[in-house]
Homo-oligomer: A and B are copies of this chain.
Amino acid sequence: MIIMNAHATKREIAQVVDIIETNGLRAHLSQGDERTIIGAIGDGRPVQRDQFLHLPGVDRVVPISRPYKLASLELHPKKSFFPLDGLIMGGNEIIIIAGPCAVESRTQLLETAQAVCEAGGHALRGGAFKPRTSPYSFQGLGEEGLEYLAEAREITGMPVITEVIAPEQVPLIAKYADVLQIGARSMQNYALLHAAGASQQPILVKRGMSATIDELLMAAEYILSHGNERVILCERGIRTYETATRNTTDINAIPVLKALTHLPVILDPSHSTGNWEYVTAIARAGIAAGADGLIIEVHLTPEHAYSDGGQSLKPERFALLVEQVRAIAEAMGRTVAPKRTCPSRI
């Protein structure tokens, strides 16, 4: 939709029409009392809106088509769901993923997995390769961490989710993990999105720190365009001017995503608040807003965590969260997936 300025001449209008037709599209003129508006009508292929901004007489260009197709609920009006180790992601049951920010040691991970299971968590998270703001911070245990994750899955039966930060890691991580996580900082790492898409593994895509909802859907579109349909979207807070919390939970994103896409949507209240005191309240809010699941940071001794201690819950608080989320889910006419049978204390 090209909006001409109030003084655009007939010649200027004709030139815009000409460029539209050169692109294989049809031009449609609306003559207002103040200005002319020209629609570029076609098959939904994105037009280079920038092409028109240099033409004399053009005031603005307003895009009409939404840029994502495969992720669109309008075009694919059936909700997506898929099985995940005995769970259904995207169904009526709420799935709760939990675990430490980083895998710190074998003992730490196995004990945390046990605690998560006992508290009612369904899947295990834990970072082996950590993207850190500082080169001087702990960067993760690497493949050793992946081995501990695999062992924890073996023992507890919980599927495992872990972050991948470079395209060449995808095959390695796919060997160990059930779900590959694309972190917030990687949401527009297109080489990584292509590699993740090609892996055909389930992918959890976290929203970038200042990504729009449309950009999050375009990141999903990269993965979907490889025929990989098992994509989970995750709201994890956005960057705003407010500094009372680490990020601002964009709770609106939950119903907006539910209206725009068929993909499952979960919330990460640990990162979206950055403070353990607020995690449970925001977890409840996420489920009340319609999220399909949660991903929560849990640590046995947060005051000794290598990273994110301030936003990690101790197991007993996490158990409380599961209980409260269950009550909210039931008030919504949903349920939380049932507690797993956990191994006896290791």
Interface residues of A (CB under 8 A from B): 1, 3, 5-7, 19, 28, 30-35, 37, 39, 41-46, 48-55, 59, 61-62, 64-65, 67, 74-75, 131-137, 139, 165-168, 185-186, 188-192, 209-210, 212-215, 218, 221-222, 225, 238-245, 248-256, 258-259, 272-273, 275-278, 281-282, 284-290, 302-311, 314, 324, 327-328, 330-332
Tell me which residues across on chain B come within 8 A of A258, comparing CB atoms.
281
Residues of B within 8 A of A35 (CB): 64
Write the chain B residue with the least CB distance to A138.
B48
Nearest 4 interchain pairs by C-beta = A210-B210, A50-B310, A53-B310, A50-B309
Q: Which residues of B contact A281 (CB under 8 A)?
A: 254-255, 258, 288-290
Q: How far is the CA of A41 from the CA of B215 in the complex (A)?
A: 32
B188 and A188 contact, CB distance less than 8 A: no
Cα distance A252–B282 in the bound complex, in angstroms: 7
- Complex Cα spacing A289 to B273, Å: 12
Complex contacts, A288 vs chain B, CB 8 Å = 281, 284-285, 287-288, 328
Residue from A42, A188, A214 whose CB has the most chain B CB atoms within 10 Å: A188
Docked CA distance A214–B133 (Å)? 10
Q: Considering the chains assembled together, what is the distance between the CA atoms of A132 and B189 in angstroms? A: 10
| Chain B residues, Cβ within 8 Å of A55 | 303
Q: Determine the chain B residues whose CB is within 8 A of the CB of A252 once the complex forms.
A: 242, 244-245, 248-249, 272-273, 278, 282
State A114–B17 Cα separation when bound (angstroms): 32
Interchain CA distance A307-B189 in the complex, whole Å: 18
Beta-carbon contact of B39 and A37 below 8 Å: yes
A7 contacts across to B, CB distance below 8 A:
74
In the assembled complex, which residues on chain B have CB atoms less than 8 Å from the CB atom of A248?
Answer: 238, 240, 248, 250, 252
Q: Do B135 and A222 touch across chains, with their CB atoms under 8 A apart?
A: yes
What residues of chain B lie closer than 8 Å to A37, measured between beta carbons?
1, 39, 64
Whether B30 pairs with A30 at a CB distance below 8 angstroms is yes
Partner of A256, one of B32, B54, B278, B327: B278
Complex alpha-carbon distance, A39 and B332, angstroms: 40
Q: Which residue of B lies closest to A197 (CB)?
A: B135
* CB <8 Å contact, A53 and B309: yes
Interfacial chain B residues near A39, Cβ < 8 Å: 30, 32, 37
CB-defined contacts of A74 to chain B, threshold 8 Å: 5-7, 59
CB distance from A320 to the nearest CB of B (A): 13
- 11 A-B interface contacts by CB (under 8 A): A48-B305, A51-B303, A51-B304, A53-B275, A134-B221, A135-B222, A166-B166, A210-B239, A244-B256, A249-B251, A287-B288
Contacts of A43 in B (CB 8 A): 33-34
